[in-house]
Amino acid sequence: MRRIASALIIGLALTAVNAWTTPLCTDQSISGVGGNHLNSYIALGAGGCIMNGILFSNFAYSYTLSTDAFYVSGPTGTGANQSSTIVLVTADSVNTAFRFGGNWVVNH
């Protein structure tokens, strides 16, 4: 019984330490996520951030211009690639959601 109690206490302590060191997704200050751009969330890596008790981690981003079989007018794949440093992130804790805003180009 003593071993079970000890294991439970150690497990709770590790959970508390992890929750204490993992920033809140809504805290975009230097001590939190580090900004409101997507590159700040990507930099968190596997450690991620917490919103409403849920861990969000390993953010990734890929933006490329390409063509598809249904494109019938104008030049294909036009526009400019957008860096993750200009994609704005809004963390909405009321709805446990993220909104991503960028200057993406849709040419068809």
**Measured CA distances, 95 to 5, 33, 70, 81, 99 (Å):** 37, 19, 36, 30, 11
- Confidence at residue 108, expressed as pLDDT on a 0 to 100 scale: 57
Helix (H) or strand (E) holding 25: none
- Confidence at residue 5, expressed as pLDDT on a 0 to 100 scale: 47
Highest mean pLDDT among 2-6, 18-22, 74-78, 82-86: 82-86
Please report which confidence band the pLDDT of residue 62 belongs to, taking 50, 70 and 90 as the band edges: confident
Domain ranges of the chain: 2-101
Q: pLDDT tens digits, residue range 79-99?
A: 667 889 999 999 999 999 999
**Measured CA distances, 87 to 26, 46, 95, 101 (Å):** 16, 20, 20, 5
- Confidence at residue 13, expressed as pLDDT on a 0 to 100 scale: 43
- Tell me, yes or no, if the pTM score tops 0.85: no
Least confident of 30-34, 52-56, 102-106: 102-106
- Rounded CA gap, 92 and 76, in Å? 36
Q: Which of 53, 22, 41, 46 is nearest to 98 (CA)?
A: 41
Q: Which of 99, 4, 1, 95 is nearest to 51 (CA)?
A: 95
- Confidence at residue 39, expressed as pLDDT on a 0 to 100 scale: 96
